[in-house]
Amino acid sequence: MSSGSPLVAVVLPPREGFGPGRTGAIGLLARRLVQTPGFDTVIIGGKQDGPVFPGVAFRPVEPALLALGSTNLRYAAAVARVLKKLRPALVEVHNRPELALALAAKLPSTPVTLILNNDPQGMREANTPAERAAMLRRLARVFTSSDYLRRRLLEDVPAPEKPPLVLLNCLDLKEIPPPEPREKLILFAGRVVDNKAPDAFVAACAEALPHLPGWSATIIGADRFSYDSPDTAFVQMVRAAAGPAGVRMLGYRDHPDVLGAMTRASIVVVPSRWPEPFGLVALEALATGAALVCSPRGGLPEVAGEAAVYADPDHPAEMAAAIRALATDEARRAALAEAGRQRAKQFDAPVIASRLADLRRAVLGG
């Protein structure tokens, strides 16, 4: 951090992993945007259980023991002490309105922005329209990872002076493994929790696989993004249904292994029953050249566009029909794969980093 460029302090949620084997979508996004042109970056996050990603300036911080309030507020107190020493030109907080507002109050001369990766309706200090309106006034700017989230943020909020702007999530196409021969594999990759609907995937595969000789189905994922993820009652329920359906469950795998599996899979299914704020797994499937079947909810249509087949996760028969149709139509799979690879280029890290650089300069110049 000695280039003379403005220093940006990127603040992760206090429990976000930032190293191999324990990183979720927010940590991956922050890592990819470290090289945003024209800026030096330091990542501030909670204490890590192992090594962090190499080549990144990272400052671990633990919530202040003597501070009052929630974990976010105690974490903010500790982060503020670090920031006062670093004296960044800009503070960029990921996905914690309460944390961003606390830092803005503690650092009144430093602009603080917020990048929302999830629905703010349900977050501390952003639950109500009045809270969201106040947040938009008090922060230097708020960015959302999809237009769906932007609309949720503005729901019932009077037109703000500084309206939120969309900053799409990204992936680094250089991290995508080289193409491999496609296996007759139908893949689910993601957290094994209710809102991601792995149970709907299992139900669809139970209906589709008997009609697809030579095909197999696999779930990669666990309740959390870690190898020691708990074996929850929901995971056990999905596992009990997966065996009779012919679906293998591999548990948690590190991100490069997930991308490798997508590169081999012919079909990737993203059956989320909740409105996905963005849909990073869907984007990764497009980039790896798998044919994508996904839910039409939330931000997923913004990600996939016309490069996917959409199916309602509440109707497994509809999803099974989509899987069967693709599995038996190699030309259709090839067309979707090419459309997906082309669409993924819009979300490549250098493209989004350039957009972020423009947004940062506007904040600092404004």
Q: Give the Cα-Cα-Cα angle 117, 120, 126 (nearest 5 degrees).
A: 140
Interval 70-79 mean pLDDT: 92
Claim to verify: residue 192 and residue 130 sit in the same structural domain? no
For residue 50, tell me if it sits in a domain: yes
67 plus 92 within the same structural domain:
yes
Cα(254)–Cα(260) distance, rounded to whole angstroms?
10
Considering the domain architecture, whether residues 248 and 124 belong to the same structural domain is answered as no
Residue 1 pLDDT > 90: no
Spatial contact of 74 and 63, defined as CB atoms under 8 Å apart: yes
> Strands 291-294 and 58-61, how do they pair?
unpaired
Higher-pLDDT residue of 228 and 12 is 12
What is the DSSP annotation of 4-23?
SSPEEEEE--TT---STTS-
Full domain range(s) for residue 263: 173-346
User: What residues have CB less than 8 Å from 230, skipping those under 6 apart?
Assistant: 223, 224
Q: Are 242 and 199 in contact (CB under 8 A)?
A: no
What mean pLDDT value characterizes the chain? 95
Domain membership flag for residue 141: yes
pTM for the whole structure: 0.90
Cα separation of 281 and 228, whole Å? 21
335: β partners:
none
List of long-range contacts for 324-331, beta carbons under 8 Å, 24+ apart? 324/208, 324/211, 324/212, 326/266, 326/267, 326/291, 326/293, 327/184, 327/186, 327/208, 327/212, 327/215, 327/266, 327/267, 328/212
Condensed to tens digits (0 to 9), the pLDDT of residues 269-313 reads 999 999 999 999 999 999 999 999 999 999 999 999 999 999 999
pLDDT in tens, 158-168: 999 999 999 99
Tell me, yes or no, whether 138 and 177 share the same domain.
Answer: no
pLDDT band at 3 (very low <50, low <70, confident <90, very high): low
360 located within any domain: yes
Identify whether 1 is part of a domain: no
Residues 163 and 294 grouped into a single domain:
no
The pair of structure tokens assigned to 24 is 């979720």
Residues 288 and 357 in one domain: no
CATH number of the domain at 287, please.
Answer: 3.40.50.2000
**Same domain, yes or no, for 15 and 159?**
yes
- Are 164 and 214 in the same domain? no
Q: Does residue 198 share a domain with residue 305?
A: yes
Q: What is the pLDDT of residues 197-224, one digit of tens each?
A: 999 999 999 999 999 999 999 999 999 9
Map tokens 């839910």 to a residue.
Answer: 295
Mean pLDDT of 333-354: 97
Number of independent structural domains in the chain: 2
Question: Are 279 and 251 members of one domain?
Answer: yes
135 and 60 share one domain: yes
